[in-house]
Amino acid sequence: MSPVQGDPFATRSREELLRRNAIFESFFKAEASRLAEACHEMSRRFLAGGRLLAFGNGSAATDAEHVSVEFVHPVIVGKRALPALDLGPDFERRLPVVLRPEDMVMGFAIPEADEAVERTLRAARARGALTFALTGEAGEYSFAPPDGDPFVIQEVFEVLYHVLWETVHVYFEHREQGHDVGASSFLYPFLGKGEQQLDKVMEEVQGSMLQKMEETNRMRAVAAGTEAESIARTALAITERLRQGGKLLLFGNGGSATDANDLAADCVDPPPGFEPIPAVSLSAEPANITAIANDIGTEAIFTRQLIAHARREDVAVGISTSGGSDNILSALAEARRRGLLTVALVGYDGGKVVSERIADHAVVVRSDYIPRIQEVQASIYHVLRGLIEELRAGRSEGAS
């Protein structure tokens, strides 16, 4: 397919990114008050020794993974690590064994309620846990699907749990007089050293949540203007490799690892109406990762796996907020030496991935704040997955 024929896909990419903004705005304006209330209770439970237990089925399981890493390993240096666990695929059996009354439980089901998730949430609530249903009706805080598109639902919920993570620290400050919010203080300038009235804090928190949503929407709109053509070219190139019998090899660290896992799930076990495509997440291999890190070093955790799995017709997709992680750079460089198509989803200014031209195709979310980068990257790779589907099916105008 020629670049001229690819133009409709750039238009499609822009439209898909931009249509999300109204959905996000409507959802968070409606839910900001409840989310501020929920964060207040979460802070009380964390300070009482509670943990956040998360679970889900299918692609929603990657949200449980993401919740765990966001709370345990905070992206802002100096913020406290909060206890969170991904309960894994056998969550319905595991939760009754590990649950304590002071815990918080978050069940993910996309695009609609899941019976096993609902049962587990009801059991947790009966034992005193604070429960969140995303989506469903069994939680103390239950959220209906904000849209009919499962990709958009998941993106909205990612912003939701990022906001919960960011905001719960505000209430630590309120409850612990004199406790400095440290490196996160720039997020909440309305918090001084003195104790604030709770109603005032909740009002300010709601405004801060809406500002975060607006920032995500602004960044997504910028990406729609600057990256739509790059997304379209990337979709065209990936589709050609798939036609040659190739597969996607995906990798990332931390929250980006869960994104790699999610995109792999969207490929292999896609939503209704999509055809499966072969994909493997190298981030979903803890035994391999820990063995390689222990015996060789963390820089090799993806490269070593890629050497084992790669074929010349494959596509290597590295996801990184910084564009400068050594293990991402190493894997992309090895993939290029082996003749694979190399793709990168990156933040900041693209880092070394862009400056050293390590990837054949790079899509950049230009920001220096990691949660917002990840939120827009989720929209981008979901749009990319949709374009690949259209290209393979020949559904869009101008497709050959």
Beta carbons of 24 and 213 less than 8 angstroms apart:
yes
Instruction: Give pLDDT, residue 187.
Output: 43
Q: Do 10-221 and 227-393 agree at the fold level?
A: yes
Instruction: Give pLDDT, residue 183.
Output: 43
Instruction: Give pLDDT, residue 175.
Output: 65
Name the fold adopted by 227-393: Rossmann fold (3.40.50)
Instruction: Give pLDDT, residue 202.
Output: 83
Each domain of the chain, given as residue ranges in start order, spans 10-221, 227-393
pLDDT in tens, 246-265: 999 999 999 999 999 999 99
Q: Which of 46, 66, 31 lies closest to 168, judged by CA?
A: 46
Q: How many Å apart are CA 21 and CA 15, to the nearest integer?
A: 11
Instruction: Give pLDDT, residue 294.
Output: 98
Average pLDDT of the residues of the chain: 91
Instruction: Give pLDDT, residue 19.
Output: 98
For the residues 191-211, what does the mean pLDDT come to? 73
Pairing of strands 130-134, 315-320: unpaired
Instruction: Give pLDDT, residue 176.
Output: 58
Token pair in block for residue 139: 């939680």
Q: 10-221 architecture in CATH?
A: 3-Layer(aba) Sandwich (3.40)
pLDDT at 398 over 80: no
pLDDT in tens, 332-369: 999 999 999 999 999 999 999 999 999 999 999 999 99
Instruction: Give pLDDT, residue 78.
Output: 64
pLDDT at 232 over 50: yes
Percent of residues, the chain, with pLDDT higher than 90: 84
Q: Which of 34-43, 149-158, 167-176, 256-265 has the lowest mean pLDDT?
A: 167-176
Q: State the pLDDT confidence band at 77, using cuts at 50, 70 and 90.
A: low
